[in-house]
């Protein structure tokens, strides 16, 4: 009987509700520090370094900056290019430099001119180097049997990938020194493998970047060492900087949002029973996790339902489930009111804002 309850719980409306914008409050710290220190400071005092998801955020952050140095100030924002984060095109497998096998040459990957996010095996040494994806090189493909095929014809990384996908399986994946030697033995010239990455793809709080307002000509990765970004308050544009440089800081605080949903449940189960409540919370949590609402804590608060106003005849109890998501990006507080009621036949849940 109890199982039926969650069967009828549709969270689609709820998930849609989660897409509603989170209110971010920007805070400016008039103290210069390095990007890692700035991140630590913002995380301790607020939520994280400032993230900017759209033009509205950008304008709000720029406008919220007040002070005598307004015209020349730059401040760290939560933009950081994690150069250890790569991906194999083969199976879209994540790859992390320092954890997974690599054969990077001396100072590689160096992201020269801020435009190298594809990888070759170099003909001279068999070592890896990051290159601009629009450079020309022959592909090394992998086929269904796991064999490598070197193709001499030179093309961009994107064409190389297409070539491998249509003629074999994918661009080569290299998981250990043996595989690297196998490939190297086939090569006549420097060749593409499937390792690539998306620069500036994430904010400091782990969310994906969707909107980047670089100043013209930026990022440039001067000296190969610029993988943190600061915002120039005069132009509202970003520049890549050495993470150890000292700048003012833009932090953000996430405002709690409260949404209230009313769920009518149809059940023969006794919602006043603590064991039933425990199961309900458990199953609702599992359902939420399955719907991609991570890091949610559910609390069930039982209240006396006598004074609740509703068009329906209430049974003895009103259940309040509070969903707390502390310190998470999509921080919000959801309040579920569950009217425990005995229906003859199972009825659907309705999720609607109160
Ligand atoms: C390389 O970086 C550019 C700029 O961020 C991006 O548009 C492109 O998709 C990346 N290429 C690959 C193969 O990841
Ligand atoms: Ca390079």
Tell me, yes or no, whether 134 and 262 share the same domain.
Answer: no
**130 and 276 belong to one structural domain:** no
Residue 194, ligand 1, Cβ within 6 A: no
Pair 105, 68 in one domain: no
What's the predicted TM-score (pTM) here? Answer: 0.67
Residues 67 and 208 in one domain: yes
Domain interval for residue 268: 2-20+255-353
* Ligand of minimum distance to the alpha carbon of 120: 2
For ligand 1, mutation pick of 198, 202, 210, 221 (most atoms within 8 Å of CB): 198
Same domain for 45 and 192: no
Cβ(253)–Cβ(64) below 8 Å: no
- Per-residue model confidence as pLDDT tens digits over 89-118: 999 999 999 999 999 999 999 999 999 999
Number of domains in the chain: 3
Among 14-23, 29-38, 196-205, the minimum mean pLDDT is found in 14-23
**How confident is the model over 56-88, as pLDDT tens digits?**
999 999 988 876 565 578 999 999 999 999 999
Region label for 321, one of left (φ > 0), alpha (ψ between -120 and 50) or beta (otherwise): beta
Q: What token pair was written down for 329?
A: 């990006």
Q: Which of 196, 216, 242 finishes a domain? A: 196
Clarify whether residues 133 and 180 are in a common domain: yes
Q: Which residue, among 164, 174, 121, has the nearest Cα to 141 in the 3D structure?
A: 164
- Residues 73 and 134 placed together within one structural domain of the fold: no
Pair 207, 172 in one domain? no
348: left (phi over 0), alpha (psi -120 to 50) or beta: beta
Tell me: do 89 and 191 sit in the same domain. Answer: yes
| Residue 43 pLDDT greater than 90, yes or no | yes
C-alpha span between 170 and 91 (Å, rounded) = 9
Radius of gyration over every alpha carbon of the chain, rounded to an integer in angstroms: 27
Domain final position from 151, 172, 196: 196
The full length of the chain comes to: 354
């Amino acid at each position: 009987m109890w199982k039926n309850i969650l069967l009828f719980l549709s969270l689609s409306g709820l998930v849609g509700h989660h897409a509603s914008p989170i209110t971010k409050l920007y805070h400016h710290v008039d103290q210069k520090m390095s990007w890692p220190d700035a991140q630590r400071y913002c995380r301790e005092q607020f939520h994280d370094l400032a993230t900017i998801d759209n033009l509205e955020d950008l304008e709000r952050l720029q406008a919220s900056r007040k002070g005598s140095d307004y015209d020349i100030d730059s401040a760290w924002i939560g933009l950081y290019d994690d150069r250890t984060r790569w991906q194999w095109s083969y199976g879209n497998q994540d790859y992390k430099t320092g954890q997974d096998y690599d054969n990077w040459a001396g100072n590689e990957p160096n992201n020269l001119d801020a435009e190298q996010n594809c990888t070759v095996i170099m003909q001279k040494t068999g070592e890896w180097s990051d290159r601009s994806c629009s450079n020309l090189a022959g592909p090394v493909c992998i086929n269904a049997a796991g064999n490598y095929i070197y193709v001499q014809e030179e093309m961009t990384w994107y064409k190389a990938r297409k070539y491998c996908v249509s003629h074999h399986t994918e661009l080569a994946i290299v998981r250990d020194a043996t595989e690297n030697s196998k490939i190297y033995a086939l090569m006549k010239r420097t060749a593409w493998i499937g390792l690539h990455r998306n620069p500036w793809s994430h904010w400091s709080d782990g969310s994906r970047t969707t909107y980047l307002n670089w100043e013209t000509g930026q990022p440039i990765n001067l000296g190969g060492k610029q993988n943190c970004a600061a915002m120039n308050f005069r132009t509202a544009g970003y520049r890549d900087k050495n993470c150890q440089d000292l700048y003012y800081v833009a932090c953000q605080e996430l405002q709690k949002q409260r949404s209230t949903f009313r769920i009518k449940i149809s059940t023969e189960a006794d919602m006043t029973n603590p064991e039933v409540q425990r199961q309900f919370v458990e199953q609702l949590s599992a359902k939420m996790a399955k719907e991609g609402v991570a890091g949610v804590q559910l609390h069930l608060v039982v209240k006396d339902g006598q004074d609740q106003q509703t068009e329906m005849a209430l049974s003895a109890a009103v259940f309040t489930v509070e969903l707390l998501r502390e310190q998470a990006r999509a921080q919000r507080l959801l309040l579920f009111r569950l009217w425990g009621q005995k229906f003859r036949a199972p009825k659907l849940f309705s999720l609607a804002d109160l």
